[in-house]
Amino acid sequence: MLVHALSAGVLSSGADAIDAGLVSTPTLARGSRDFDCGAVVTASHNPAPYNGIKLWNPDGMAFDEAQQREVEAALDASHVALPAWDRIGSVSSRPDLVERHVEAILKDVGRVNIRVAVDCGCGATATITPFLLRQMGCDVIAINAQADGHFPGREPEPTEENLHPLGATVRAVKADLGIAHDGDGDRMVAVDREGRFVGGDVLLALFARREVRNGLVVSIDASMVLEDLLPKAKIWRTRVGDVYVASELKRRSAEFGGEPSGTWIFPKVSLCPDGVYAAAKLVSMVAERPLETLVAGIPKYPVLRGSLPYEAPKRPSIESRLDAALRKLAPDVSTVDGWRVQFDDGWALVRFSGTEPKIRILAESRDERRAKEIYSTVLSSAKGAAS
């Protein structure tokens, strides 16, 4: 329904609608370079009912806030200028975007011969990742590889609790690696050959260590391990959201960007988070050294997460009290997205949830006892502000 409505709206404006069919989001974003704009209907990593429309620029970057406001203003306008009936756009199709995406990745990554289990989550990567990896030379065992928007295999977000079947499959078939995507393929996480989950912060560090020489862009909630691994690189932190990471990558000409959620942006190929390309890159890395060996080279710092409820109507006053309380804890407080309170031996992030009336709290340190102290201190401040 949304696809047809979107196409009709495009036609009614006088523009042409080119239907790419069922493709992953990074496939569509790459294909957008030949057009003025790309649009994908997806719920991304969210459950099945939450579909929407995401818009892409020709360079692969999603529409930023200014562009989104422009679209919203046009939607709110009482009158929209439309062409005459004989000046509406036409419909055509572009069935070759998957093939072109695969060819571009093969040219960049090359051939690899390992055994890989791939969990497509019944999402759009069922159209590309298993086929790409086979063409790379891998022995591929695919699960949840039938595209089905009801997501019968698992929930589309590739969290550790959703990926137990992938871990079991990896162990059963003695695969070297397990790859998992979200519903639209802009995210990618992994499991090692023992079926152990390898999540966002670790993969972010692995990719950054491989890709970065001078500059890295990450979201505000990324681990402090990055500063320890890349002491000579400049690290910029943005609001949570791939469009903010992409925008800063473009502005800073940095070599890599990502988020602990599993979104990886390789600006040399696209400013869209490309879970398919990231899968191919990780496969090539694992062909050199087992994933568990790579992971062993990344320091593991204790992280504590939690939340507390608040009364939504009181948010403005809570924000004011919370800002004052957190600034008393340390002189270095970043307000890029919420409050990131930096200590000499750790940090904490306090953010209002974007979907429910909760204040989310994260704390990290190199020492577990210190991480608990930071978390407890920040939680106490948040409780006081919310009461």
Considering the candidates 12, 13, 32, 44, report the single residue annotated as catalytic.
44
> Is 44 marked active-site?
yes
Amino acid at 298: I
Q: What are phi and psi of 220, to 5 degrees?
A: -65, -20
Of the candidates 2, 9, 6, 331, the residue with the CA atom closest to the CA atom of residue 149 = 2
CA gap 148, 217 in Å, rounded: 34
Q: Which two tokens stand for residue 163?
A: 């990926």
- In the chain, the largest separation of any two C-alpha atoms, in whole Å, equals 71
- Which residues does residue 349 pair with via DSSP β-bridges, in sequence order? 340, 362
Of the candidates 170, 97, 99, 107, the residue with the CA atom closest to the CA atom of residue 140 = 170
Strands (E), the chain: 17-19, 38-42, 52-56, 91-93, 115-119, 139-143, 177-181, 188-191, 197-198, 215-219, 234-238, 256-259, 263-265, 303-309, 332-334, 339-343, 346-352, 358-365
Q: Which two tokens stand for residue 140?
A: 């591929």
Sign for the CA dihedral angle at 313, 317, 321, 324 comes to positive
Q: Which two tokens stand for residue 68?
A: 């989104």
Active site positions, annotated: 44
